[in-house]
Structure 1
Amino acid sequence: MSIKNRGIIIFTLGVLSALGPFSIDMYLPAFPAIAKDLGTSISQIQLSLTSYFIGISLGQLIYGPIIDRFGRLVPLFTGLAIYFLTCIACMFAQSADALILLRFAQALGSCTGMVVGRAMVRDIFPVNENAKIFSLLILVIGVSPILAPTLGGYVSVNFGWRNIFLFLTFLCAFTIFLCYRYLPESKPADSSMSLKPKAVLGDFWAVMIQPQFLFYALAGGLASAGMFAYISGSPFVFIDLFRVSEAHFGWFFAFNATGLIIASQFNSLWLNKKSSESIIVRVSTIQLITAIAMFILTFFGQIGMVGTVALLYIYLAMQGFLFPNCSALAMAPFSKKAGIASALLGCIQMLFSALASGAVSLLFDNTAVPMTAVIAFCAIASFTLILVGRRFIGKRANEELSVA
């Protein structure tokens, strides 16, 4: 593979993987406007975010076995077509309930990009390069939280929130063009992969109980959940609590996202000297300390906007290290079942994210405490799993060597 083709494929996979996150980040600044227009509360509109997470979680479980059976591209274009049509439908939503339902359907389409993107990384590139490739994908995916909220706020203020979904329709069309033009079929159809329920459940179970997958998928999922607790709670915290305008909210969101992007690129360099396992332990410790400090300071009312932004920046920067390394380690044991492994990994990440965003909404008390509490809980749980998992995997490897 030439350097040029390699770069184009990575960029296309990045755009494909970013479609789902862009669909989340772009409409966040419009929460107050959507709530006002549909005659409901912001907490009710937040449920459309939760339904999106649930749709992505369930959808990936559906597409995982399908892309292993029928190849990557046909299911991919089917999902993108669903996303395209539901974007148009969201433009005409007349109630919060309709928007919640349509966002769920929209997620069923966008999730194909996420599950196919991860599977193609495992298909196309050597296993020992996967963590670096995921870091490069974050460089593209990271544009979403930088541009999307700012663009979404601008569109909402000047053209109305419904035109956000018009923009997403055009973005989907551009993504379809890139995929059609540049993505190869990285895994041909495999008739040996059964789609019978019993066989599919057996494949999922075999992947799930693989120790390296289990611990790093759960730890990475919890870390992602903390990030999405921030995404879910940030519109209220910044716009309502700190009195930041919808247009300016995007700049705060973008600033915090730069930490994630910069860290992901440092991760590529760090991997030349340290293993993914070693990096994960170090950065999860920093993330844990940051999350607990933010919660304590918020709970006792000893932190303002500047302090909150600073701690969130550090917290999100650590995610730039955790995501690529946890993803690469979780996917590493699989080649034939890369689609199922990718689907299960994505499902865990999004399901935890749905629970976290839902918890922020349900615990809503007109303060930033619910958001920081959920972030702290996720950091503690993720850190614990990383330590326990590393010891368990190491112990099991030693036992296997002893038997051999």
Structure 2
Amino acid sequence: MFRPTSTAVIVTLAAAVALGPLSTDMYLPSLPGLTREFDTSVDRVQITLSVFLYGFAFAQLVYGPLADRFGRKPVMLGGLLLFVLSSLGCALATTIEQLIFFRFLQALGACGGPVLGRTMVRDIHGPVNAARVLSMMGSIMALAPAIAPVIGGYMLAWFEWRAVFIFLTGYALASMLLIAFKVPESLANENRSSLKPLVILGNFGLLLKHREYLGYTLCCSFIFSGLFAFLSGAPFVLIDYFKVPAQHSGIFYALASGGFLSGTLIAQRIGCRTGINGVLKRGTVISVLAGLSMVIPALLDIHYLWLTAITQIIYMCGVGMVMPQAMAGALAPFAKMTGTASSLLGFSQSLIAASIGMLVGHYHSGTPTTMAVSIAAMAILSLASLWLLVKPGRNRAINHPPEER
């Protein structure tokens, strides 16, 4: 069994958290081809992305309370088992309707990793050190979206899109074995909470009334939604508009992930000096500047592949700075209902991102404009959430979290 504070536990949890990004990023190069495979439309194929996030969102409202009552490990292992079975269903799908259905079930299983991975970090490392550890996990996780589209692109070239889901099945099985036999349970018995509906609703109500929790949660949700707007629109922008070969399109996702990795490393470097809020201020401003640099040329009907790539890399640097810090800020005050707080954060993040992804697919004009507008808007909303609700210029409380009442 690994020591709870060991690097091996961080890497294992990062691998479980990465299950969500892998489930979307790895088959992105396949999306244009699926329109021909199933003889359907772009927005119909895009639903296979958005339905995943909708399932991801709503299931998190269940995972958190269950994990606060029964422990992190058994709930996470149950989710991974569901993911394995539904991934096999995706690989065997013969219609777009079947693929959409199994993608929804796949999401119900996949969301246990991110919700409970964040929760276990908060359990083990406490409210302040969790920000540093989540940034470290973000650095490790950056490998997943960097490598996944490249692997997916070559799988598409060498085999077919079904190979992606077979790979995901094996990945989830390996994660199950590591978590079952090597990762210790992190929930202390004295912190286990009730599953009574009124208690659960009361906990959600407490979170929704907590101004800073809402600020950090919306800041994280909007910045992630900009990322998902890119994931939803980029396959059609890169492959159909800019004529990038499918097997090479993964390079652009890898470059964007390099931006995310840079952001997490910057956050780790400056976080001790500036605190969580200082990192968030810088990260949101970087994302807004990148979004504006992308959308203004797009609205002027100026479209260049290099411009789209560079501005997205810069935006992703901001995402890498913001997401781990905002997650840590949101969870910091809630030691006795960390799972519930994490699940509501994940619900908000996934629900907003899924809605933005569907809008990108529905209003896709054949150019990068819709994607660029969505990314810029989400960056601005992320910055607004931080300044209006958290007020980082005046409030430094997150560096010394209050005791939970």
Q: State the TM-score bracket (shorter-chain normalisation).
A: over 0.9
Residue 228 of structure 1 corresponds to which residue in structure 2?
A: 228
How far the C-alpha of 1:3 sits from its partner, in A, is 8.4
Evaluate the alpha carbon distance shift between residue 252 and residue 227 of structure 1 in structure 2; reply closer, same or farther with a 3 A threshold: same
Residue 110 of structure 2 corresponds to which residue in structure 1?
A: 110
Identity of aligned residues (%): 33
How far the C-alpha of 1:291 sits from its partner, in A, is 0.5
How far the C-alpha of 1:189 sits from its partner, in A, is 5.7
Residues 1-24 of structure 1 show CA distances to partners (whole Å, capped at 9, x for unaligned) of 998961001001100100111011
Residue 179 of structure 2 corresponds to which residue in structure 1?
A: 179
Query: How far apart, in 2, do the equivalents of 1:130 and 1:245 lie?
Result: 41
Query: How far apart, in 2, do the equivalents of 1:24 and 1:395 lie?
Result: 36
Query: How far apart, in 1, do the equivalents of 2:93 and 2:72 lie?
Result: 32
Evaluate the alpha carbon distance shift between residue 361 and residue 202 of structure 1 in structure 2; reply closer, same or farther with a 3 A threshold: same
Evaluate the alpha carbon distance shift between residue 209 and residue 392 of structure 1 in structure 2; reply closer, same or farther with a 3 A threshold: farther
Q: Structure 2 unaligned segments of length 5 or more: list them.
A: none
Query: How far apart, in 2, do the equivalents of 1:153 and 1:103 lie?
Result: 19
Query: How far apart, in 2, do the equivalents of 1:99 and 1:196 lie?
Result: 35
For residues 90-239 of structure 1, the aligned pairs below 5 Å read 90-188=90-188, 193-239=193-239
Whether contact under 8 Å (2:5, 2:125) holds in the other structure is: no
Residue 21 of structure 2 corresponds to which residue in structure 1?
A: 21
Whether contact under 8 Å (2:192, 2:336) holds in the other structure is: no
How far the C-alpha of 1:192 sits from its partner, in A, is 6.3
Query: How far apart, in 2, do the equivalents of 1:112 and 1:70 lie?
Result: 14
Whether contact under 8 Å (2:226, 2:374) holds in the other structure is: yes
Evaluate the alpha carbon distance shift between residue 33 and residue 385 of structure 1 in structure 2; reply closer, same or farther with a 3 A threshold: same
TM-score where L is the length of structure 2:
0.94
- The residue type paired with residue 113 of structure 2 is G
Query: How far apart, in 1, do the equivalents of 2:191 and 2:136 lie?
Result: 33
Query: How far apart, in 1, do the equivalents of 2:23 and 2:221 lie?
Result: 19
Residue 343 of structure 2 corresponds to which residue in structure 1?
A: 343
Whether contact under 8 Å (2:68, 2:193) holds in the other structure is: yes
* Deviating more after overlay: 285-294 vs 213-222: 285-294
Residue 41 of structure 2 corresponds to which residue in structure 1?
A: 41
Whether contact under 8 Å (1:56, 1:107) holds in the other structure is: yes
Evaluate the alpha carbon distance shift between residue 274 and residue 93 of structure 1 in structure 2; reply closer, same or farther with a 3 A threshold: same
Number of equivalent positions: 398
How far the C-alpha of 1:396 sits from its partner, in A, is 11
How far the C-alpha of 1:198 sits from its partner, in A, is 2.3
Residue 253 of structure 1 corresponds to which residue in structure 2?
A: 253
Residue 323 of structure 1 corresponds to which residue in structure 2?
A: 323
Residues 342-370 of structure 1 show CA distances to partners (whole Å, capped at 9, x for unaligned) of 10111111111101111101111111111
Whether 1:312 and 2:312 are equivalent positions in the alignment is yes
Residue 389 of structure 1 corresponds to which residue in structure 2?
A: 389
Evaluate the alpha carbon distance shift between residue 268 and residue 61 of structure 1 in structure 2; reply closer, same or farther with a 3 A threshold: same
- The residue type paired with residue 176 of structure 1 is M
How far the C-alpha of 1:391 sits from its partner, in A, is 3.0
Residue 54 of structure 2 corresponds to which residue in structure 1?
A: 54
How far the C-alpha of 1:245 sits from its partner, in A, is 0.6
Evaluate the alpha carbon distance shift between residue 261 and residue 395 of structure 1 in structure 2; reply closer, same or farther with a 3 A threshold: closer
Residues 186-208 of structure 1 show CA distances to partners (whole Å, capped at 9, x for unaligned) of 11567962223222111111122
How far the C-alpha of 1:36 sits from its partner, in A, is 1.4
Residues 185-238 of structure 1 show CA distances to partners (whole Å, capped at 9, x for unaligned) of 111567962223222111111122212111110111001000110011000110
Residue 262 of structure 1 corresponds to which residue in structure 2?
A: 262
How far the C-alpha of 1:126 sits from its partner, in A, is 2.6
Q: Structure 1 unaligned segments of length 5 or more: list them.
A: none
- The residue type paired with residue 220 of structure 2 is G
Residues 222-274 of structure 1 show CA distances to partners (whole Å, capped at 9, x for unaligned) of 01000110011000110111100111000111011101012201211111211
- The residue type paired with residue 95 of structure 1 is T
Residue 276 of structure 1 corresponds to which residue in structure 2?
A: 276
- The residue type paired with residue 345 of structure 1 is L
